[in-house]
Structure 1
């Protein structure tokens, strides 16, 4: 009789295998809480699995597991970039093949995105001993450390704030109000703090820990409802003023049409859409096209320039048109066209350029990635410009600038009373990408207490009020237009005035709690 062969794993290997599974589960659940996926409920406990995995390993294990978490979380959250890199960009630009796009996506996640998560694991391993023995101190430590890492993720030429834990709460209008005081970092801190407390409840095997977990999470949803009910006004004071009416033109032009079709045919199509909007007999103050309505410098093509100017003269309403400027300085910009004046000298050029697509960071290191360039490499815009029409002051952000709080904050500090985000999201076929991009404008609206109108090529085009409520939006991937009534708001929030002050508070927590504990223990 042949005996059964049994494979037994050593406790160390079994422990490592369990930690890897917990890390993968944590990354999956966290990504499923992000905009466009399943539910934000996961965000309150998904990291508890990661903390359990980290505490079961030594320093190297903590670093590698945190790095693994970052890779899986970012790869799932931004999966929509993969078809753009392997399908859309290769077919439109013809600069590289699909497999090169796949490699670019892998490197973006593993080399650019995930290393800061490994830094979290390293610092967690080194500093945790100074906060052990007290659940509150541990939760404050973990939340502070993670918040600092999230802050660092947004810095530098390769920085990106997408995938912040706070993104999961974009629909929770009550809790969103915290960002007018702390920015999104305050929400990140709160989320990690709750996760750490829940982890400690279970790791210490306290009685009724499951019920306590439900109670903790329930408290924050009750708090969300209370803030929304009692602190968010049904209608702001700004409604007493006359609205500034903007005709948003969602063009729904494919990238192939932009790059391969005759620009005169494209101009005819775009102006026909604007003409249809005109025939609606809506009285408006401004027409706005999305980012890069044209991919050529309009002012270098006299016939095209005249066609647009003649249309605006006949329209008798100013228009914002997006197109690149290719001259001594190269800009991705939107320019104001006025009746009787034509193309004016008033424009806003994108300041926070997209790495590799619009600017090549660290050319000596990343020079081989120049194939990802779209139209051209640009110069950052010269100023945070504020437009003024009919005594209404407003500013424009272009594309992914809405991911960066400091851009909108600076524009508002310069005098903008409402914001317009113009974007070309036609590169992205997945609705998840459109939702994630639009959700950023919700945070910018609350942080600065400003109306934010996003106008996109393929969607999402919509208006958000200063409290983060979506007033109106257009159907995605459809050529359409609509008038949006925007109001000025002059309120100055604590966040707008002082910026990311909250990260200093988290640094103080990391410094002072160990000092106080040591002083008390003497």
Structure 2
């Protein structure tokens, strides 16, 4: 049976190789193809299944690499194609920023390709090579997400599965990075299965094929099992999210202030008719400094008038050089009882980092309207009249940080509120890619996520990553429309394995990578580069 499987594998490899382009074009074509497949895995169109074999063309290109530097360049090409396509929405803010971000993010896939090249030249067994490649991916993805200042965990490979709840439940155990590890393992197995090798041990093809099936089916079966498990909510909280759909060009215009407040006041009134326990406005929905602007008094009267507490995004002014991007909680009496100041600011968007080096960008930033905010000092758990319903707030891109959401969960939050403004990026894939991060934070922490976005996507995500309800119009459009959505949020107290310790998976993966790297160097298991 093993011999037959090997013969089938060789015949399949031969059929594939028959249709390949001329050898001189192989590396460039296949690296570019990898980038295109990765980009197509995310919204839009969001063909998540492509991620399970999107890296195979890159592995084929690396087989043709003449040196480590050549492999690095092929990886860089794949990364640049991927990021420049999937994050093309950045051009609506700045074309230069889009180019620089693509250039910077591509570096990590280039390093990954170089590491795969090193592993390819060893005399290791297939198992060690698979673990080497998967741990190398986890290392580079973890670095590009978590590195201080320039970390940007956007479009992680696991996020490609966000539209299929069954395929993301593994994140409740090993997190986003762990699911990414499994996806890369499947890619390596497929590459070794379909690409010709000089000496393939008997039964290797069958083992590789079985490994791919076990990974994909294992992830799916576990997901289905977890989704079918009964959750008995202790209580429900009725929450309304508002989506004002204020164009970015008008958001801070003095002449538009009255209209903006009128829109949100009307939406709040409609939410009160839904008998909401809590109404949430988006990030910076109040068009000014909430603690200094006289128009904030109008907003403070709304909870008194409608009998509903509000969570409002607005700026907070402490001093000329101390301004915060904040979330205010107004109780039923209209008093500000708590405030959260955004901790993780967007570099070159909300502040200029490393000013001794980038001071020359200040005039450009001022011309582009880039703010210079101060970072907050600590995360905040909002505790209010509903004592059993404390919650944490994430502002804008903070939901791409797994550690921040996990910290809120560990401090007793029963749900997470994400307030954001993605109007900058116009009617593109950006809001839907952003939603993927919220979905994974829900699965990892086991907490439902409530999203209020100025132009969408606003709605509710269950503790298992299912999108329960969103703001949409009669044509089912979810972005760049005004409206509200109200939902009865279930209160559950189930703690995930991820929160209990599974979040350490990337560190275990890095330890594995380090062990293999030391083994490689000590035993001289690679040829001269």
Alignment of 1:22-421 (within 5 A): 22-57=30-65, 58-82=67-91, 84-85=92-93, 101-110=94-103, 112-130=104-122, 132-154=123-145, 155-204=147-196, 222-233=217-228, 235-237=230-232, 239=233, 241-260=234-253, 261-278=255-272, 281-302=273-294, 304-328=295-319, 329-340=322-333, 342-370=334-362, 371-372=364-365, 374=369, 376-389=371-384, 390-391=386-387, 392-421=389-418
State how far apart, in whole Å, the 2-side matches of 1:324 and 1:234 are.
42
Point out where structure 1 has 5 or more consecutive residues left out of the alignment.
1-12, 86-100
Counterparts in 2 of 1:478-493, with a 5 A limit?
A: 478-493=481-496
CA offsets 1:426-483 (integer angstroms, 9 cap, x no match): 1222341111111111100010000111111111112111111111122122211121
Secondary structure at the residue paired with 1:171? coil
SS of structure 1 residue aligned to 2:491: coil
Using the alignment, how far apart are the partners of 1:129 and 1:106 within structure 2? 33
| Local SS of the residue matching 1:312 | helix
Looking at structure 1, the residues matched to 518 and 317 of structure 2 have their Cα atoms a distance apart, in angstroms, of 57
Conserved in 2, the CA contact under 8 Å of 1:418 and 1:489?
no
Q: Which runs of 4+ in 1 moved over 6 A?
A: 206-216, 514-519
CA deviations on 1:282-336 (whole Å, 9 max, x unpaired) are 222111111110231022122x122112222111221111111122331101101
CA distance in 2, matches of 1:395, 1:236: 22
Alpha carbons 1:128, 1:141 under 8 Å: kept: no
- Is residue 182–residue 500 contact of structure 1 (8 Å, CA) maintained in 2? yes
Per mean C-alpha deviation after superposition, the further-off stretch among 387-396 and 374-383 is 374-383
Q: Is the 8 A contact 1:26 1:69 kept in 2?
A: yes
SS for the counterpart of 2:374 is coil
Task: Kindly indicate whether the alpha-carbon contact (under 8 Å) linking 1:290 and 1:456 is maintained by their aligned counterparts in 2.
Answer: yes
**Pairing 1:436–2:433 present:** yes
TM-score by length of 1: 0.86
Rounded Cα–Cα distance in structure 2 between residues aligned with 1:210 and 1:30: 25
Distance in 2 (CA, whole Å) between partners of 1:330 and 1:123 is 43
Question: What residue ranges of structure 2 are gaps of 5+ in the alignment?
Answer: 1-20, 473-477
Q: CA deviation at 1:505?
A: 2.2
Number of residue pairs matched?
Answer: 484
Please give the TM-score of this superposition, normalised by the length of structure 2: 0.85
The offset of 1:129, in angstroms, is 3.3
Counterpart of 2:498?
495
Equivalent-residue separation in structure 2 for 1:221 and 1:189 (angstroms): 12
C-alpha contact (below 8 Å) 2:279/2:310 kept by paired residues: yes
CA 214–471 in structure 1, closer or farther in 2 if over 3 Å, else same: farther
Q: What CA distance in whole angstroms lies between the structure 2 residues aligned with 1:211 and 1:459?
A: 47
Separation in structure 2 between the aligned mates of residue 66 and residue 410 of structure 1, nearest angstrom: 34
* Deviation for aligned residue 1:212: 9.2
Alignment correspondent of 2:15: none
> How far does residue 244 in structure 1 lie from its aligned partner after superposition?
1.3
**Which of 185-194 and 198-207 deviates more?**
198-207
The whole-number CA distance in structure 2 between the counterparts of 1:491 and 1:188 is 24
Instruction: Tell me the residue number matched to 1:467.
Output: 464
CA apart distance, 1:104: 2.5
